[in-house]
Chain A
Amino acid sequence: MERRDFLRSGLRGLIIAGLAAISGVFVYRNYTTKETCEFTTPCQDCKQLKSCKKPEGLKFKRDQQASKN
Chain B
Amino acid sequence: MKKIFSIFSLFVLLIIDFAAFAQTQRFPRPEFESGYTQPVASMPEPRAGIFALVDVLLLIAALSLITWFIHRKRSRTGVVITSLFSIVYFGFLREGCVCSVGSVQNVVLALFNPGYHIPLSALAFFVIPLVYTLFFGRTFCAGVCPLGAVQDVFLLRPVNLKKWLQKVLGLIPWIYLGLAILYAATGTDFIICRYDPFVGIFRFNATFFMFAIGAAFLLISVFIARPYCRFLCPYGVILNLVSRVSKNHLSITPASCIQCKLCENSCPLDAINKPVEVKQMEGKRSATRRFILLGMIIPALMIIGGWVVSNFHENLAMVNSKVRLANELLHFDSNTMKESLEIEGFRTSGKTKEELYLESAAILKQFYYGSWMLGAFIGLVFGLSLAGLTRYKYREDYEPDKGECVSCARCLKYCPVESN
B345 at the interface (CB under 8 A from A): yes
Q: Find out whether the CB atom of B116 lies under 8 angstroms from the CB atom of A54.
A: no
Question: Quick one: closest A residue to B205, CB to CB?
Answer: A67
Bound together, the chains give a CA A56 to CA B113 distance in angstroms of 19
Q: Find out whether the CB atom of A55 lies under 8 angstroms from the CB atom of B345.
A: yes
Q: Find out whether the CB atom of A19 lies under 8 angstroms from the CB atom of B131.
A: yes
B240-251 contact mask (Cβ, 8 Å, vs A): 1 or 0: 001001010000
Complex contacts, A29 vs chain B, CB 8 Å: 110, 114, 117
Complex contacts, B113 vs chain A, CB 8 Å: 37, 39
Q: Find out whether the CB atom of A19 lies under 8 angstroms from the CB atom of B127.
A: yes
Chain B interface residue count: which class?
Answer: 35 or more
Complex contacts, A59 vs chain B, CB 8 Å: 321, 341-342
CB distance from B210 to the nearest CB of A (A): 10
Q: Find out whether the CB atom of B205 lies under 8 angstroms from the CB atom of A54.
A: no
CB distance from A58 to the nearest CB of B (A): 4
Within 8 A of B (CB), among A21-37: 22-23, 26-27, 29-30, 33, 35-37
B161 at the interface (CB under 8 A from A): no
B237 at the interface (CB under 8 A from A): no
What DSSP secondary structure best describes chain A's contact surface? Answer: helix
Q: Find out whether the CB atom of B245 lies under 8 angstroms from the CB atom of A8.
A: yes
Bound together, the chains give a CA A38 to CA B116 distance in angstroms of 8
Complex contacts, B207 vs chain A, CB 8 Å: 67
Q: How many inter-chain residue pairs (CB < 8 Å) link A and B?
A: 77
B377-398 contact mask (Cβ, 8 Å, vs A): 1 or 0: 0000000000000000000000
B107 at the interface (CB under 8 A from A): yes
B118 at the interface (CB under 8 A from A): yes
Q: Find out whether the CB atom of B118 lies under 8 angstroms from the CB atom of A30.
A: yes
Bound together, the chains give a CA A4 to CA B292 distance in angstroms of 24
Bound together, the chains give a CA A58 to CA B111 distance in angstroms of 28
Complex contacts, A36 vs chain B, CB 8 Å: 115
Question: Quick one: closest B residue to A45, CB to CB?
Answer: B48
Complex contacts, A12 vs chain B, CB 8 Å: 134, 245, 247
CB distance from A55 to the nearest CB of B (A): 4
**Residues of A within 8 A of B (CB-CB), count:** 29
B120 at the interface (CB under 8 A from A): yes
Partner of A35, one of B115, B322, B325, B348: B115
Known: A8-B245, A39-B109. A56 touches B321 (CB 8 A): yes
Q: Find out whether the CB atom of A35 lies under 8 angstroms from the CB atom of B116.
A: yes
Bound together, the chains give a CA A9 to CA B189 distance in angstroms of 36
CB distance from A49 to the nearest CB of B (A): 13
Question: Quick one: closest A residue to B350, CB to CB?
Answer: A53
Q: Find out whether the CB atom of B346 lies under 8 angstroms from the CB atom of A55.
A: yes
Q: Indicate the member of A35, A41, A55, A57 with the most B CB atoms within 10 Å.
A: A55
Known: A37-B113, A37-B115, A58-B345. A15 touches B123 (CB 8 A): no
Q: Find out whether the CB atom of B341 lies under 8 angstroms from the CB atom of A33.
A: no
Within 8 A of A (CB), among B117-146: 117-118, 120, 123, 127, 130-131, 134
B335-363 contact mask (Cβ, 8 Å, vs A): 1 or 0: 00000011011101100000000000000
> Other CB < 8 Å A-B pairs besides A23-B127, A26-B123, A29-B114, 12 of them?
A8-B247, A12-B247, A15-B242, A15-B245, A37-B113, A37-B116, A38-B187, A39-B187, A55-B322, A55-B345, A58-B342, A67-B207
For the complex of A and B, the 10 pairs showing the least CB-CB separation, nearest first, are A36-B115, A37-B116, A37-B115, A55-B342, A35-B117, A58-B345, A8-B245, A39-B187, A53-B348, A11-B245
Q: Can you list 11 contacts pairing A with B, beta carbon distance less than 8 Å?
A: A9-B247, A11-B245, A12-B245, A15-B245, A29-B110, A30-B118, A30-B120, A33-B117, A53-B348, A54-B349, A55-B341
